[in-house]
Structure 1
Amino acid sequence: MEIMLLVTVLSILFLIVVVKQNDFASPSFLFALPLTISIFICVLYKDKWDFECELKTFFLITIGIFLFFCGDQIGRKTFKKKMEYNKLVTCDMSVTMTRTVLIILFSLISIFLVYKEVSTSVSEAGIVFSLFQTSTKGLSAYSVSTVVSMTMNIMSIISTFGIAILMNNITYKCVKWKDWLFIIPIVSYLIIVLMQGQRGDLINFFVTTIFVSFCMNYKKNGGSAKKNVKVATRFVKYILIILVIFYALRLTISKSGQESLSFFDIISGYVGAQIDLLNRLVRQNNISYSLFGYESFHDLYSFFEKIGIMRNLPTLTFKYRAYNGLGCNVYTFFRRPYVDFGLVGSWFISLLCGIVWGHFYYKYVHVRNGNHRFMFYLMVYAYFINKVVMAFFDDYITLLVSANTAIKLVLFVLINKFMYCKIKIRGRKKTRL
């Protein structure tokens, strides 16, 4: 059954590549590829982990992936505009010097705010500790303040703008010297992430960077299926570099006990173990909630609890098995919908998610002409697409239904307005800062 699972998902992935004509940025491909790699690793380690795929697990994963692909296709059909790959992205994304300086100042202030809060939380270690040593990883009582949390959200979005500005202007050879100043807020955000000890945010940053770069090349090549393969192969080496960085960070922001693990033990545990954990959960088959969609929309329920609409919400602690010292308590995209809605319900959620992501991609990103509005939609999409890519790890897709997502969307609009809006002065011509 384990080999059949791998062969089936490989077949679905091949079908997606053929139907999508090598569109490696499509939601269904980004959803299926990491899950396929995760299954491959799990099968590779099946003897070591005692992995025996349940029939229900087989149907949960394979039909779930296929229905996400079907939803992607439905989302594409809901937008009937003819594809226009030949119209390139040629807009200049540069920001005026005044606003760039203000963004840099905000970035430096953000580093100070986060460092002050982190250093206070680990004061017993001493303020003279280096940036990496003041990581908050492992501090059970640590939680950021509202001000710092909002600052981190703003910085993550500003870094996305910086990535898009540099990638766009470099790709289309309109880069100016002041554009390179956006490296400062980008690096500032990375420093904040490392201080917080959040490798997940670091992965999200790399996913966003690769996705924006790939889309730029995809547009520049006019959607050529043959050229897309060449572009995709170039990105493989960047992914390998990211994995090496991820492994190296075990020395600074990982859980205790991981320092001595090999590269393959670390990567296999984080990428492949989730399939085995999902299989064990399905085998137990004894978890349910009285609240509708409690696991899938947990963040929304937590928000309601905080503002007093709901009180005393149920909690659930999953028991998990350690893989060579790796504490794993995540179960792929399928766990939350399966727990909330059962097998058929999880398939419906997969289909619905595919429709939503497919519609947004084909309407706002895939066929957009080269203008600033396209770039804005691309940045928003690139910022959230990591939730689809990380489907092999946990269900971050349904967790997007939250107050935090709404706040980030508002921040995207406000930051975009700040960077590019024109100021009207009565009695004078329109000018830009």
Structure 2
Amino acid sequence: MAFLTFVLIVLTFLAYYLNQRSLVSPAILFSGGLTLAAIVAWINESIWNLQLDFRTFFVITFGTLEFIIVSYITSFIFDIVSKNHISQRHNSYLTIPSYVARRFKAILLIQILIVLISIITIRHATGIADLMSAINYINYVQNGFIKGQINLPSYFSLLLLFNSAAGLMAGYLFLEDIIINKKFEYILFINLLLGFATPLLTGARGDSIVFLIALTILGYFIVKEQSVWNSANTKYVVLGIVGAVLFLFVFEWSASLVGRNIENSNLGEYISTYLGAEIANLNEFIKYRSFPIHGEVFGQQTFVTILPTLSRIFRFALPEYKLDIPFQILNGHNTGNVATVFYSWLYDFGYMGVGVLAAVVSVIGEICYKIAKQRSGFQIVKLVYSYIGALIALSFFSNRFFENLNVNFIYMIVFWIVLKCILFRREKNK
């Protein structure tokens, strides 16, 4: 593990310098996340009795190196094309008009109403009056821990998506006010909190984590687009670090909220499971199972949330199946059931899948990143990239990229466009 960690650190520095020292480029998010996981796995190497297989080393290092190289080539080609076809980025930062923030008061009322409707819907669908118990039940059924059927109305997921979309847009305005105007807008902060917390109504802590990472990326964009860094902003960096530490404690506590069993683990073991055990689990899969594994459906692990949409569009039968993500016990320690993004790719397509899909993710991420950097100030594409960047950052954890880039993401973009058209409309001169 020590050598893998060292190589990933070197690759992360390579990605950092190849991308103009940006901390939110796709390459740095991908390699940085895996480096963090490798460090945690190295710390727990003896605890988990982790004996790294050379094939695991090969998959992780060459997959990461390919991602960085493809990202650099894509950036190079994009820069050549953009000189002739894309307008140059504005140097001056254009702040969002104050009336936009005021209009978010109406959005806040809608968000609160959505939360209330969602709570009523959850209780009705599960038949459980206690909200925490109802959330636990939904989480257990959705993850296959228990057998059950939940008939949530079709509009339910759209309501939750709207709250998250509105929350992330409000988050950009909130961060801009904090960083540039030195103001704390309470309405925007509550908008943000509701956007962050709404996924927890179905036990989807992962979506809340994506929200936080996306918010961090947006904050980085705002800071980097200022001509001069104000030293007064340093306090917000400190607050961000304190917030991250507090989040680790809240994250463990939230496990009980959504029905996860944490009775037999302390905070260190719990965090290690989520930040480093993925590499150990991937290693077990590579060592003891043959792949690719051909199931009834093409790409059934990788494209699990995309296939249902494709089946409706192209009218083909999609057999019912469950994801093959078994829980692992290593040296007597529960290491969970996630095994990095490489697990799904290897499972469905073998080593070839790693080569092809790493390139696909790299190209998509880099193009969105370059477009987001074209102009300073608020842009819908910045929200889009912040979300995609968050998914790429979580590649060390699971196949979040292809799991979340589905029809719901398209709905989220539509919500952003509609919200911008309504909220950013110029005020009439009185």
TM above 0.5: yes
CA RMSD of aligned residues (A): 3.3
Contact 2:125 2:152 in 1 (8 A): no
Determine whether 1:18 maps to 2:6: no
Secondary structure of the residue aligned to 2:305 is: helix
User: Could you tell me which residue of structure 2 aligns to residue 380 of structure 1?
Assistant: 384
Contact 2:345 2:353 in 1 (8 A): yes
User: Could you tell me which residue of structure 2 aligns to residue 320 of structure 1?
Assistant: 327
Contact 2:168 2:195 in 1 (8 A): no
In the alignment of these two chains, the number of paired residues is 413
User: Could you tell me which residue of structure 1 aligns to residue 39 of structure 2?
Assistant: 40
Counterpart code for 2:73: I
Contact 1:210 1:235 in 2 (8 A): no
Residues 1:147 and 1:347: Cα distance change in structure 2 (over 3 Å): same
Residues 1:229 and 1:23: Cα distance change in structure 2 (over 3 Å): farther
User: Could you tell me which residue of structure 1 aligns to residue 158 of structure 2?
Assistant: 150
User: Could you tell me which residue of structure 2 aligns to residue 89 of structure 1?
Assistant: 93
Find the aligned partners of 1:98 and 1:217 in 2 and give their Cα distance.
23
Contact 1:274 1:330 in 2 (8 A): yes
Q: Where does 1:24-423 land on structure 2 (aligned, <5 Å)?
A: 24-80=23-79, 81=82, 87-96=91-100, 99-121=103-125, 123-124=127-128, 127=129, 129=130, 132=132, 134-136=134-136, 137-139=139-141, 140=146, 141=148, 142=150, 144-173=152-181, 180-221=186-227, 235-256=240-261, 258-283=262-287, 284-289=289-294, 291-305=297-311, 309-313=315-319, 315=321, 316-322=323-329, 326=334, 328-362=336-370, 364-370=371-377, 372=378, 375-421=379-425
After superposition, what is the alpha-carbon deviation per residue over 1:178-219, rounded to whole angstroms, capped at 9, x for unaligned?
A: x54223333333443333222112212211222211221111
Determine whether 1:9 maps to 2:8: yes
Unaligned stretches of 5+ in structure 2? none
Counterpart code for 1:67: E
1:64: how far off? 0.6
Find the aligned partners of 1:250 and 1:221 in 2 and give their Cα distance.
42
After superposition, what is the alpha-carbon deviation per residue over 1:99-144, rounded to whole angstroms, capped at 9, x for unaligned?
A: 43431221121011111122335544xx3x4x65553333453463
After superposition, what is the alpha-carbon deviation per residue over 1:294-326, rounded to whole angstroms, capped at 9, x for unaligned?
A: 332222212234568222436353333146775
Contact 1:16 1:69 in 2 (8 A): yes
Counterpart code for 1:209: L
Find the aligned partners of 2:300 and 2:229 in 1 and give their Cα distance.
41
1:55: how far off? 1.6
Find the aligned partners of 1:248 and 1:171 in 2 and give their Cα distance.
30
Percent identity (aligned): 18
Secondary structure of the residue aligned to 1:313 is: coil
Q: Which moved more, 1:5-14 or 1:298-307?
A: 298-307
Find the aligned partners of 1:106 and 1:67 in 2 and give their Cα distance.
44
Q: Which moved more, 1:396-405 or 1:108-117?
A: 396-405
Residues 1:359 and 1:253: Cα distance change in structure 2 (over 3 Å): same
1:70: how far off? 1.2
1:63: how far off? 0.7
Q: TM-score scaled by structure 2?
A: 0.84
Q: TM-score scaled by structure 1?
A: 0.84
Residues 1:51 and 1:87: Cα distance change in structure 2 (over 3 Å): same
After superposition, what is the alpha-carbon deviation per residue over 1:61-90, rounded to whole angstroms, capped at 9, x for unaligned?
A: 101111111122122112225798882423
After superposition, what is the alpha-carbon deviation per residue over 1:28-51, rounded to whole angstroms, capped at 9, x for unaligned?
A: 111111111111222222222222
Find the aligned partners of 2:320 and 2:303 in 1 and give their Cα distance.
13
Counterpart code for 2:61: T
1:15: how far off? 1.4
Moved over 6 A (4+): 82-86, 228-234
User: Could you tell me which residue of structure 2 aligns to residue 425 of structure 1?
Assistant: none
Unaligned stretches of 5+ in structure 1? 423-429
